[in-house]
Structure 1
Amino acid sequence: MKMLEHYLYKYFSYTTFKEKQQEIIEEVMTKRNVFAMLATGSGKSLCYQLPALINEGLTIVISPLLALMENQVQELKQKGIKRTAAYNSFLSFKEKKYILSNLSSYKILYISPESIQQHDVLYQLAKQNISLFAVDEAHCISQWGHEFRTDYLKLSNIRDVLGAPPCLALTASAAPEVQNDILQQLQLKDPVIFCDSIDRRNISIEVVPASNEEEKKKVLIDFLNVLPMPGMVYVSSRKKAEKLSIMIKEETALTAFSYHGGMTQEDRNLIQQQFLEGETNVICCTNAFGMGINKPDIRFVLHYNYPKDLESYIQEIGRAGRDGFPSTAILLRSNEDKIFPRRLIENEFPAENQINEASIEIEKNAQQKCSEQFLMERCGFEETHARFFTHYWNEWHNHSHKLNEVKEYILKIIDKRKGWKFTKLKQMEEWIWNDDTCRRKRLLEYFGEKQLTKPEQCCGICGADPLKKERHIKKPSKNMTWKDRLASLFHQCS
């Protein structure tokens, strides 16, 4: 479609689309509901940004992280696309009011699933011509929505309030059951589905055993002394992120910082910016870091602790090598690591005694509605537990008034979600501890793909060497135009 290529060059100065971008955009332009799973670095954001700039009206982008919103807005503004905004807690009351009063002047509005639930926000948005409802990082609906951020589960209702605009759901990794959960939660009717391969052939995959924590630290330092920079080290906790970043600075000549959800937003923004601009060698981070980070030259992703599911693993290693050059994914494994993810899953839910106590407390206060604030103040709930309990308590009471059955309903939900999460964890661990089969082949099979050919540097089982020096010599492609090289220099990747 020549018209799309014209607008692609007009707004983004690109002459060609990446694989599947054009087909997705064509379907979006015909007002179809679309689900697209595209590998990290394949230009997912362009699939809603370009239609937003061409179509009349406002495109709403549901985005999970404040830093991700800010990063995308700044990139668009650097490209000269000014009619875009992020509505979030960074803003002052005056700034929020200005955005809501001038919605008709924007083409793209980034907003979190929590912010869009606010009455004044939804009221103003409902008065607009919404051309597209995009859900970025849509796997969060399945991975975060049911427990941590239940507002994800309300997005289909929000979309109805906004006049049921066409929906585009985007993710980089979703196994078939996660895809089904996303489609069900968003209630997408007759969606067009695009599933690109999750295989990132320029990333070699390595799992390295370590007998205990001390050996893991030594292996980590050994790798960091020889791996090309920059890189990311994923850990399981905030405390570990801080300790490892200090250790790296003390035992190597590298600059290293920690990044996690317990830091102030200002500190997180500063560290993210330093990393993007090449002022930091290594980021030790929890899974709060990396989503939407547009840094094409990350040379390695090292998992000091493994994630709870293969979807997260694919998301996280996909942050390496977005420039197409050889990169490495290394996972350190130890039997000691098995305790933490199980404990983490258990702690994601309120305990049965808490549920019983909260139910009694609510029943005693007949006039008291079940709310997050009430549960935290009167029942000692953590915020995420209060959010979970409130969501399913209210869901039950929307369909039934039998108070004596609501506790059993919530406990069944918990049991089902725990079972699902432990199954995903078991699949992750089976992949980690299987030393007989090509790791890439098993990953592809998990996501419903077949391995057709192997890259030269495939995985450790197939003989890949993550430290082979010639892998990391950057040679510009003969097919690169001067415009492509200039865009690469300024990190202008879609």
Structure 2
Amino acid sequence: MTTLIIAIARFLPLTRTMLQKIKNELMENSWDSVRETFKKIWGYEAFRPPQGEIVRSLLAGQDALIVLPTGGGKSICFQLPALLQTGLTLIISPLVALMENQVQELRERRLPAALLHSQVPRYQRKQTLQAIEQQKLRLLYLSPETLLSPPVWQRIVQPHVRINGLILDEAHCLVQWGETFRPAYRRLGAVRPTLLQHKPPGQKIAIAAFTATANPQAQKTLQHALKLRNPQSFLISPYRPNLHLKVRAICTPRGRRQQMLKFIQSHGKQSGLVYVRSRRDSEELAQWFQSSNYSTAAYHAGLSAEERRTIEGQWLKGTLQFVICTSAFGMGINKPDVRWIVHFQAPQLLSEYIQEVGRGGRDGKPTEALTLMSEPTGWFNPEDKSRDRFFREQLQKKYQQAQRISRQLPPQGEIAAVSQEFKGGEFALALLHSAGQIEWLDPFHYQRRSEAAQGNLKQLSATQQRAQREMNRYLTTRGCRWQFLLNAFGFSSETGTLHCGRCDNCLKRRR
């Protein structure tokens, strides 16, 4: 657009005001074309705020940090700019189910999108890799691990393969999993500078992080880890007035099951979800409900891809009334009429909690979310305290292991070599990077930072423990639960006059 304005100015004696007018008209015409494409593909007349502003930002090549509530229409915000540009946009997604759901919808609209993951058939994988080289795609969905695998990296790094953007979908996974579960997430900040070294001069790659949950500390982590450059921030409150939040304390394992059963029975045949913390719990509860003729199933990462797809499809169609699942289920799955959510055990983090309750009530109708917890003393039922202690101890072991490995690391080296030499080496490097003790030379090599620049693993561990304690404070608060959540996620300015009137604590005060 700028080139066109300069060309016009060479041949016509235009004032600055006239040039600005031409520029505004060209921009408006261009935006009309964007809206026309939006309507043609998705059928909507207008963007939902702040979708339009996000699309403008990404089309301008700006980095962005976007926090939108679950069901806020995040995927359109990066899919539309990708389809309007020449070149490839990489969508980093945490789960196979999430990738497949989005790519299936795009393909049904005959749009140039593909996905790569470990379960893709060999022939399909070959076709997709060829399509990357031939620049036939606009959107490519893949995990961080797949992005950094040799077959994919060798193709996207080629000078003729134009990369427009790197989109991190469900970006909270970098914060929650990047240090202890999915260490490849911590290396994503090295992707852009390394790619640009192999691309023609002047080429730009924008990075945008999308999530429904990121408190101020998580936002800083994302900005630092991804090396965002002056990102445009779009931060929308997670408050959903139709979500009615409840917490119930129970004294025995039997009481926990009975409370859940009573809650589900009160909702008749309405659709819902039961969240648990382990595969074992999901399978045991599914058998318990099935023995009482409930239409349900267990869902966890131990199932095959085909089994997971079958369960998702049955739930979406209503063949299954509810699914008993671990945190992986529901991410990116659009089922508007989920009327209830049960947390059979409380999540470890508030960010997980917001994600999971947010999968209910996407149609805006009243939805209840019940969380069950052991009574706070733990005298009658120490189940929750034992589980929390186990997770804390496991995390502490990883920090200790990282510190041991750090003493043996050479000043710089290859990440793959460290992973082979040390058990848990890749996790240790991710933790050391998060603590500021190392930096990435590229996505595959590291170097130690100077002693003065190094951070402390103990401080990192303390931060994680504070986040877990915050979840416990939420469970035991006597104030408005939505006020607590808004304060925790950095929206304190909205809490002054807010009393949701629907959470269990607000209802107690009203009575």
TM norm structure 2: 0.81
2:483 alignment partner in structure 1 = 441
Q: What corresponds to 1:74 in structure 2?
A: 104
Name the residue aligned to 1:38.
Answer: 68
TM-superposed CA distance for 1:360, in Å, is: 9.9
Partner Cα distance (2:205, 2:307) in 1: 37
Deviations 1:175-217 (A, max 9, x none): 1000110011011111100000110111111111111211111
Displacement after TM superposition at 1:362 (Å): 9.0
Q: Kindly indicate whether the alpha-carbon contact (under 8 Å) linking 1:362 and 1:368 is maintained by their aligned counterparts in 2.
A: no
Could you report, residue by residue, the CA deviation over 1:63-104 in whole angstroms, capped at 9, with x for unpaired residues? 0111110111111122x1331001111213332222111121
Equivalent runs, 1:160-239 vs 2, <5 Å: 160-163=193-196, 165-228=205-268, 229-239=270-280
Alignment of 1:410-489 (within 5 A): 412-413=456-457, 415-435=458-478, 437-449=479-491, 450-451=494-495, 454=498, 458-463=502-507
Alignment root-mean-square deviation, CA = 2.8
SS at match of 2:44: coil
1:419 is matched by which residue type in structure 2? Answer: A
Residue type of the partner of 2:139? I
**Residues 114 and 151 in structure 1, CA contact (< 8 A), matched pair in contact too:** yes
Please give the alpha-carbon distance, in whole angstroms, between the structure 2 residues aligned to 1:125 and 1:134.
15
- Once structures 1 and 2 are overlaid, which stretch shifts more, 347-356 or 303-312? 347-356
C-alpha distance in structure 2 between counterparts of 1:50 and 1:351, whole Å: 41
Identity %: 32
Query: 1:162 deviation in Å?
Result: 2.6
Q: 1:362 to 1:133 in 2, by over 3 A?
A: closer
- Which residue matches 2:388? 341
Following the alignment from structure 1 to structure 2, what is the Cα–Cα distance between the partners of residues 96 and 208? 48
* Stretches of structure 2 lacking an aligned partner (at least 5 in a row): 1-30, 197-203, 376-381, 440-444
* Count of matched residue pairs: 445
Structure 1 residues 89-98 or 140-149, which shifts more?
89-98
Q: Map of 1:1-150 to 2, 5 A cutoff?
A: 1-78=31-108, 80-103=109-132, 104-127=135-158, 128-150=161-183
Counterparts of 1:440 and 1:392, CA distance in 2: 32
How many angstroms does 1:149 deviate by?
1.1
Greater mean alpha carbon deviation, residues 197-206 or residues 327-336 = 327-336
Structure 1 residue ranges (4+ consecutive) displaced by more than 6 angstroms after TM superposition: 355-363, 366-369
Q: CA separation in 2, counterparts of 1:353 and 1:145?
A: 17
Look up the match of 1:483. none
Gaps of 5+ in 1: 376-380, 466-494
Deviation string, structure 1 residues 365-421 (Cα, Å, up to 9, x no partner): x9997443444xxxxx4xxx443125567948943499xx9xxx89x53x3333222
Match of residue 469 from structure 1 = none
Give the secondary-structure state (helix, strand or coil) at the position aligned to 1:463: helix
Q: How far apart in 1 are the matches of 2:370 and 2:312?
A: 22
Quick one: distance in 2 between partners of 1:312 and 1:367? 33
The higher radius of gyration belongs to 2
Q: Deviations over 1:241-300 (max 9, x none)?
A: 11111112223x421111111222221121112112221111111112121111111111
Counterparts in 2 of 1:400 and 1:153: CA distance versus 1, 3 Å: closer
**2:214 counterpart SS class:** coil
Match of 2:355 in 1: 315
Code of the residue aligned with 2:394 in structure 1: it is N
Question: Following the alignment from structure 1 to structure 2, what is the Cα–Cα distance between the partners of residues 193 and 367?
Answer: 34
Distance 1:398 1:58, change over 3 A: closer
Matched with 1:283 is: 323
Q: Distance in 2 between matches of 1:460 and 1:122?
A: 51
